[in-house]
Amino acid sequence: MANDQVLTKEAILDAAEQVLRRYGPDKTSVVDIAKALQVSHGTLYRHFPSKTALREAVTERWLQQSVAEPLTAIIEQQHNDAAESLHTWLKTLIRIKRNASLDDAEMFAMYAAVTLDPTAIIDEHIDSLVGQIAVLLERGKNSGVFRMEQPADRLAQALFSATAKFHHPAHAAEWTAESVDEEFDSLWRLLLSGLSAH
């Protein structure tokens, strides 16, 4: 791809993701990505102002495709019971993050590194996930499944925080413990009992 004119941001992100998976986030440089695209590294800086910006863009796209889209599909299934949908949503989030930590280690490591500092993409990602939980809570309230004494967005944030051990990358080392599924099931029953209208 020596022709800079056909170089798009998507092509750069595709190449960056492949190189990051090959070498890992710590050993990957902008030069490595430029070599994979057969362009100068200066060409990449015309699309992304820094290595950090490029890594964040790769992470943002990975979060959208790997995490947000599968969870959005659950939100769109409106025929399900709200409690069942919320349980499925949480278990899917946990499964996605756990599988990524094991099967897509380089991309997960980059994502984990990005979460160490406040960034707009992580804030937006969390806001999106919390917003999806709020949709499910409102749906449950409207159908009489959930009893809510606080606004849905506040409860959604509390639910997201309460389950952080099972999906936040800082806890990834704990996800292989034999008791982790049982721990989540216990927490889910506690949360459900607090939400249940019956």
Band of residue 2 on the pLDDT scale cut at 50, 70, 90: very low
Is pTM beyond 0.85? Reply is yes
pLDDT digits (tens, 9 = 90+) for 139-169: 999 999 999 989 999 999 999 999 999 999 9
CATH class of 1-49: mainly alpha
Pick the residue with more confidence: 145 or 4? 145
**Residue 196 bridge partners (DSSP):** 146
For residue 164, how many C-alpha atoms fall within 13 Å in the half-sphere facing its CB? 8
Backbone angles phi, psi at 196, to 5 degrees: -60, 135
Eight-class DSSP state of 171: G
Contact present, 194 and 148 (Cβ < 8 Å)? no
Band of residue 25 on the pLDDT scale cut at 50, 70, 90: confident
- How many helices (H) and strands (E) are present in the chain, helices listed first? 10, 0
pLDDT at 179 over 60: yes
Tell me what pLDDT residue 198 has. 67
Of 1-5, 126-130, 141-145, the least confident: 1-5
Helix axes 51-63, 105-114, angle to 10 degrees: 110
Q: What is the mean pLDDT of residues 7-35?
A: 90
pLDDT at 132 over 70: yes
What distance lies between CA 134 and its chain's CA centroid? 17
Backbone angles phi, psi at 115, to 5 degrees: -75, -10
Contacts of residue 108, defined as CB under 8 A and 6 or more positions apart, other chains included, come to 97, 100, 101, 169, 172
Contact present, 39 and 64 (Cβ < 8 Å)? no
pLDDT at 78 over 80: no
Contacts of residue 195, defined as CB under 8 A and 6 or more positions apart, other chains included, come to 83, 137, 140, 146, 147, 148, 155
Of 145, 160, 138, 146, the closest CA to residue 89 belongs to 160
**56-195: which CATH number, 1.10.357.10, 3.40.50.620, 1.20.80.10, 2.120.10.30?**
1.10.357.10
Distance CA 166, CA 176 (A): 10
Average pLDDT, rounded, for the chain:
91
Contact present, 93 and 67 (Cβ < 8 Å)? yes
Residue boundaries of the structural domains of the chain? 1-49, 56-195
Q: What is the mean pLDDT of residues 12-22?
A: 91
pLDDT digits (tens, 9 = 90+) for 35-68: 999 998 888 988 999 888 898 999 999 999 999 9
pLDDT at 16 over 80: yes
Distance CA 169, CA 97 (A): 8
| Degrees, nearest 5: CA angle 151-157-163 | 135
Of 9-13, 65-69, 113-117, the least confident: 113-117
